[in-house]
Amino acid sequence: MRALVWIVEDTWEATVAEAAAYLPADAEVTLLHVAAGDVESLAEGARQGLLGRRRHPGPAEPPQPRAISDEAAEALLTDARARLGREARTERRRGRVGHEVAAAADGMDLLILARDGDHSRLGPRSLGPAARFAVDHAPCRVLLIWADAPPGLDTIPPPPRHH
Amino acid sequence: MPEALALVLSLLALAGTLAAAVARSRWPIEAIAAVAAAAALVAIGALTPSAARQAIGDLGPTVGFLAALLVLAEGCRRQGLFDAMGGLMAAGARGRPRRLLALVFVVAATVTAVLSLDATVVLLTPIVLATAARLRTDPRPHVYACSHLANSASLLLPVSNLTNLLAFQASGLSFTRFAGLMALPTAGAVAVEWVVLTRFFAVDLGRPRRARAGAEERPPLPRFALAVVALTLAGFAASSLLGVAPAWVAAAGAAAITIPALVRRTTTARTLALAAEPSFLVFVLGLGVVVRAASDNGLASAARAVLPGGVALPELLAVVAVSAILANLVNNLPATLILVPVAAPSGAAAVLAVLIGVNVGPNLTYVGSLATLLWRRVLHVEDHQVELGEFVRLGALTVPAGLVVATVLLWFSAQGLT
């Protein structure tokens, strides 16, 4: 069995714990992180907007957005592999997040991901746009986990009253 | 030369200078283009040599002031001030994204006001990105906050934005009076950003988290750099009492933070010269001459026809709207150079209204101005696809509200002015 575990910053520990608990011992595990290129572009774009200034980082300047997020993603995947406690490949991608997750799931048997949407009102939006896209388009089975406790039945709203 | 022809040639020179500033090149082509355009306009008689000399003389002190501020900010970075702020924000957030955003607001607004928007964009934004990554939370709201506050919080002091420096002299205000009049408008613009950003990113900020943070780093606060910045600020405040131009205070601050490093050889003269951005300073001088040529040949009278004269609330709102639109069309530096001389005869409130427009307005289009964005598209210099929708939606939610709130508060603050 080939399993892809999608690691996202806010929910990474929950996702890895679930993968460690439910994946069979012989599963080949890949830990995936996708960087949203547009956040880095925003940081770089603000700099380009400084008309005539600092188009190129000087020798003594802090590292640039892309390098920062690459390094952070690497550190996150390293921590995730340590938390998983077993052999795992790691994969880093960059771009439109949902599309990249779906593409990375090609050839996999299972995709594990966390809900990333609005949990104050459980409904279609309890998945954010990226997770929604991955769930709809991943070419494999999907295991969707809760980063917090699963909801009780009392979160279901009462049916509308008919007159 | 007929004035209409001189105007057309001046506007062409302005367009060429701006295009050069937007193109991405290893060489300082924007400075070369600005100087060439200015020289050409003088050579063909669109501007007399004495008017060009006067334009350079007017801008000279401002450009020197800017150079000192850039060197001061670079000194703070070298001393580790921004790294230390990253550590403070990470520790203060206690793993909660909304707390981190509040701290990013405080730090970004302060850095912008005191060390200018350049410092926030160039030096603080990478630190905020790294801090969010270390806390293992989505960096998006925090990077947006930096990018927006670099503009919205740049109203406060004459040193917060180059546009303010350009208008400071024309406003006729002292450093402290400027700050006093702009305090409420700045607070209003920042409050609008907080309300809109926390709502826009409510889901990202309230997401259930189960994520241990990465390795913690707590670099110590560099006391010397903080002391230099505090004393420089105090010097700005006292400058009008002492009868010293604030530019000299900035120069003293830059020298205080730089000379020890030069003596201890922790920096080089070359790094310092690069930090002062000589090509940018030349570009500003050239741009000033080119805009003067266009203004003298009819652009100023056109602007006078559009810009209302009084300082009652409706007129101030109109001035802000015109300034914001022009800043988005041609970038905020040329917009300031064109509008401030036209607004100045109406008084300080009108000049400050121009600043609200040219400082807050650029958030409408994420790279500072629509012009920059469109030029870049036209010139195919964008090497990665940028998702525009989110930037523009957030700009549309914050900018009109921020402009109106800041203008009403400026009008309120300026009631004592005659």
The per-residue pLDDT for range B277-298, each reduced to its tens digit, is 888 899 999 999 999 999 999 9
Q: Which residues of A touch B30 (CB under 8 A)?
A: 52
Strands A28-36 vs A141-145: parallel, antiparallel or unpaired? unpaired
- Please tell me the predicted confidence (pLDDT) of residue B366: 52
- Reduce the DSSP state of residue A36 to 3 states and report it: strand
The per-residue pLDDT for range B347-386, each reduced to its tens digit, is 999 999 999 999 999 888 755 554 555 555 554 544 445 5
Give the confidence band of A59 by pLDDT, cuts at 50, 70, 90: low
**H-assigned helices in B79-96:** 81-93
Check A11 against B209: CB less than 8 A apart.
yes
Check B125 against A65: CB less than 8 A apart.
yes
Which helix H or strand E contains A93, and what residues bound it? strand A89-95
Q: Which residues of B touch A59 (CB under 8 A)?
A: 271, 274
**DSSP states of B258-306:** HHHHHHTTSS-HHHHHHHT-HHHHHHHHHHHHHHHHHIIIIIHHHHHHH
Check A13 against B387: CB less than 8 A apart.
no
- Interface residue B315 vs chain A (CB under 8 A): no
CB interface of A with B, residues 93-152, below 8 Å: 96, 116-120, 125, 128, 146-148
Q: What is the pTM of this model?
A: 0.92
Q: What is the ipTM of this complex?
A: 0.90
Residue B128 near residue B89, CB atoms below 8 Å: yes
The CA distance from B353 to B356, in Å, is: 5
CB interface of A with B, residues 12-71, below 8 Å: 12-14, 17, 36-43, 45-56, 58-65, 68-69, 71
The per-residue pLDDT for range B36-56, each reduced to its tens digit, is 999 999 999 999 999 999 999
Which residue is closest to A52 within chain B, CA to CA? Answer: B21
Q: In what order do the strands lie in the sheet with A141-145?
A: A89-95, A28-36, A2-6, A110-114, A141-145
Tell me the CATH number for domain A2-37+66-149: 3.40.50.620
Check B384 against A12: CB less than 8 A apart.
no
Q: What is the mean pLDDT of residues B145-154?
A: 94
